[in-house]
Chains A and B, each alone.
Chain A
Amino acid sequence: MTQPSTHEVTELLIEWSNGDKAALDKLLPLIHEELRRLARHYMSRERPGHTLQTTALVNEAYIRLVNRKGVHWQNRAHFFAIAAQVMRTILVDHARSQAYAKRGGGAHRIELDEAMIVSQDRAAEVVALDDALKTLADFDPQQSRIVELRFFGGLTIEEAAEVLDLSPATIKREWSTAKAWLYRELSKR
């Protein structure tokens, strides 16, 4: 895929925040591709010892895709919200493929990179968490979004508060109850 122009991404973000749903459809694959590319790069062994920060990664994707000066903060918040969703898809897909990857099993598709083998326990946990989060979304969509932003999108309490336009205190309260519920769900397994 060719590198989309930053102008194009900026336009799409603006169109989307103005309520044009179709813009999001065009935007998603661009962001997906960019995040996947960066994730592959970061998680490859070329950068041993590098401590990863999701926010740094998303920021880099954002900077690469968007000319920061031309876009309002509101768009950046939107960008983080979408990026968290996209990160979730990328990571859960990857974890799922690894959790299914069998010891000594034959050929199977590895999503990010051949060399990127996450421990099966870790992969299984990410998959389990994703499942539990879907259940949570059924009865508390907002909490599920908060966890998505924090855990998959790597946002701090304050950043999540800005994206969702809620107070940090609310986010904190919702976060700790969601965490208690999810922890209990996962310990049941």
Chain B
Amino acid sequence: MTPEHWQQIKTLLQSALEREPGERSAFLVAACADDDLLRKEIESLITSHEQAGAFIESPAFQLMAESLEDPTKSLAGQSFGPYQIIRPLGSGGMGEVYLAEDTRLGRKVALKVLPAHFTEDDERVRRFQQEARAASALNHPNNITIYEIGEIDSLHFIATEFIEGVTLSDRLEASRIETYEAVDVGVQVASALCAAHQAGIVHRDIKPQNIMLRTDGIVKVLDFGLATLLDKKSDDLEAATLVKTKQGLLMGSAHYMSPEQARGQKMDARTDIFSLGVVLYQMVAGHVPFTGETMTDVLASILRVDPPELSQSAPQTPAELLRIVNLTLRKDKAERYQTAKELLTDLKSLKQRLESQRESELAVMPELIGISPKQMEQEIRFCTTADGVRIAYATVGHGPPLVKAANWLNHLEFDWQSPIWRHLFEEFARYHLVVRYDERGNGLSDWNVENLSFEAFVQDMEAVVDAVGVSRFPILGISQGGPVAIAYAVRHPEKVSHLILYGTYARGWARRGSSPEELERRRAYLTLTKLGWGQDNPAYRQLWTTLFLPNATLEQWHWFNDLQRITASPENACRLLNEVGQIDVTDFLSQVKVPTLVLHCRDDAVAPFEEGRLIAGMIPGARFVPLEGHNHLLLECEPAWPKFVAEVRRFLKTEKDS
């Protein structure tokens, strides 16, 4: 929307709203003349105006505080029969879920307390209990284990195993899922359905919110049996599919219903197969197959519209997967997979095929184009930026170009020999012409510079790319190189083919809403940098080193201690440290139009894991790979390194194919 266009809309909208509701149509017809689009736009805003009601009328602070004081949350910190409630885990149409401890056994459980209005009807409660008991007898690795179903103080509850992980719905929001993982999730859910269906239990509410991904890769299906509570009363259905809020309505889970469910007809096992089909489709395509502005539109689409071909949104999808998904989404249940077992068999063999394909790809790649690291020599040259700063850059390796954004502790010559960077450069130089450079104020580039701003960092990169003369390339951004890479990719989307971000952040240390303690610590580092950086005694530098590389060898520590002094003057170190603290590229994230892979170590003490998650969550389509580890720079000896290599190779390869 342009300001001018909005101004026109707004003026007419305000005039329309000043008139009586009955006169508005006539006014708009006259005012908009032949411009039907304009008139429709204003009419739609008038509708929103009428529906908006109390929307945003209470201040944000109050709303958030009210949701804290919500009486249904009041259980937190209290005991509930033998259960000591620890904290809420989440909420949905089917009640509140808490993390609790069963004091009899000392084990953690997830405790779901059902809303009273679902349990008013004794007959329904009886059927629910019957079905939940049956589900609790399932004892299948992909079904959540039910410990207890009961009633305390006339509140019905279910206690189940507590799962460390995320829901598929959260996972889908965070980043795209690749084909192999989608099929793997499909296999595990189908396997859970198989067991349940054989026991005569239909889930009836398969959706990403009910599928938990455990950190070890095991998938668990939640809430078998709960759907019985939704039977018959359509207003309950409404309540469960709409997320209720005071300000407005946000659509819930109508998207996953089968046609027979949407019609209110009898459901059987094939309903679950359809819903799983919707989930599979969503994992592959990145969006649900049936859409609409309102719940009724979604249901109409489920009943009548053929979903867009999966190959449109995901052209790389294997033909076999397209066939499987199509077969699950047949509107006529007689044409679908008839049993979960058949679906499971097909998914399993597809998974096996993908697995062996993936292994052979990874095994073949280094030999395919690789050269021996021994033969590698880097060449260092200089270029000059628009403001007259000389920047040193190096090229090494063979193949298509790849540019690494500089860090504020880089030194081309020293890094190349180092036990900390060398393995990383070698890995990329096997199949790329790797371009690196020292940022201004650092390493072999000019130290005496006036402008040490973030903008200047981005210009350094632009100068290097121009000097090398490469036109399209992946960028590797590590730590502070990340925001520079992001800014560069937004400015030059035509030049950047891939974005690889490791251990980086969108907001510098002073901008991420850090705790007062953290800010204090950072300020203390600044002071220490001023005083200790240039001294012969490495005590201060060791402090930095330990923060960056808590799990490193003595040799790596010594090396990093030295690197600091060689790389920058104490004065520049302070200026740089200050400057990188002020970086904030949050607003750029949604503008990145380049395939992006974000990798982050969980216990990185320099760039918080949360920053990695934020970046991956806000860059459209970005994939997020959490790595296990404590080090800010990834060392060759740690377990996360091979995973990093495999993921990056695969990313550079697959995205190239598309």
Q: A interface vs B, CB < 8 Å?
A: 1, 33, 39, 42-43, 45, 48-49, 51-55, 57, 87-91, 93-97, 100, 102-106, 108-109, 111, 116-123, 125-126, 129, 134, 138-140, 147, 150-154, 173, 176-177, 179-184, 186-189
Contacts and interface: CB of A to CB of B under 8 A. Distances in A.
B16 to A, nearest CB: 10
Given A91-B64, A139-B3, A150-B59, 6 more contacts: A1-B519, A1-B520, A103-B89, A125-B247, A151-B56, A182-B56
Nearest to B222: A103
Contacts of B609: 108
A123 B215 CA distance: 24
Interface in B54-109: 55-56, 59-65, 67-70, 73, 76-77, 87-91, 97, 99
Interface stretch (B40-48, B305-313, B369-377, B428-436): B40-48
10 contacts: A51-B62, A108-B609, A118-B64, A119-B73, A119-B91, A134-B587, A139-B5, A139-B6, A152-B61, A187-B248
Interface in B161-214: 162-167, 170, 174, 212
B250 A121 contact: yes
Interface residues of B, number: 72
A104 B110 contact: yes
A22 B60 CA distance: 29
A49 B69 contact: yes
A121 B243 contact: yes
A1 B515 CA distance: 11
Contacts of B516: 1, 33
Nearest to B61: A54
Interface string B236-254: 0000000101011111000
B59 A153 contact: yes
A42 B88 CA distance: 20
Interface in B6-39: 6-7, 10, 13-14, 17
Given A126-B63, A179-B52, A181-B45, A106 B587 contact: no
A23 to B, nearest CB: 17
Contacts of B46: 180
A97 to B, nearest CB: 7
Given A119-B67, A183-B55, A140 B3 contact: yes
B61 A52 contact: yes
Contacts of A53: 59, 62
B61 A57 contact: yes
Given A89-B513, A186-B250, A42 B65 contact: yes
B520 A119 contact: no
Nearest to B170: A102
B13 to A, nearest CB: 5
A89 B516 CA distance: 15
Contacts of B67: 118-119, 122
B3 A43 contact: no
Contacts of B167: 102-103
A147 B515 CA distance: 28
Given A52-B65, A103-B167, A183 B59 contact: no
Given A49-B69, A177-B13, A180-B46, A147 B60 contact: no
Contacts of A89: 513
B610 interface: yes
Given A1-B516, A181-B48, A187 B64 contact: no
B550 interface: no
Contacts of B215: 106
A138 B174 CA distance: 25
A91 to B, nearest CB: 5
Nearest to B1: A139
Contact of A108 (B91, B520, B610): B610
B48 A184 contact: yes
Contacts of B6: 139-140
Nearest to A108: B610
Contacts of B61: 39, 52, 54, 57, 87, 91, 152, 154
A177 B16 CA distance: 11
Nearest to B512: A93
Contacts of B62: 51-54, 154
Contacts of B614: 96, 100
Contacts of B2: 139
A170 B437 CA distance: 54
A111 B165 contact: no
A47 to B, nearest CB: 10
A129 B46 CA distance: 19
B323 interface: no
Contacts of A176: 17, 49
A103 B170 CA distance: 9
A122 B63 contact: yes
B68 A140 contact: no
Interface string B429-452: 000000000000000000000000
B613 interface: yes
A102 B165 contact: yes
B570 interface: no
A81 to B, nearest CB: 15
B249 A187 contact: yes
B522 to A, nearest CB: 12
A90 B513 contact: yes
B608 interface: yes
B289 interface: no
Contacts of B77: 45
A40 to B, nearest CB: 11
A90 B61 CA distance: 10
Contacts of A51: 62
Contacts of A100: 174, 610, 613-614, 617
B471 interface: no
B91 A43 contact: no
B18 to A, nearest CB: 8
B51 interface: yes
Contact of A102 (B1, B65, B166): B166
Contacts of B165: 102, 104-105
A151 B59 contact: yes
A151 B610 contact: no
Contacts of A129: 56, 60
B139 to A, nearest CB: 21
A177 B14 contact: yes
A97 B608 CA distance: 12
A187 B520 CA distance: 42
Nearest to B45: A180
A111 B77 CA distance: 20
Contact of A152 (B10, B59, B608): B59
Contacts of A49: 69
A181 B284 CA distance: 32
B342 to A, nearest CB: 32
A91 B60 contact: yes
B218 to A, nearest CB: 13
Contacts of B174: 100
Contact of B610 (A52, A88, A109, A154): A109
Nearest to B510: A29
B613 A184 contact: no
A126 B64 contact: yes
Nearest to B608: A109
Interface in B120-157: none
Most chain B CB within 10 A, of A48, A134, A177, is at A177
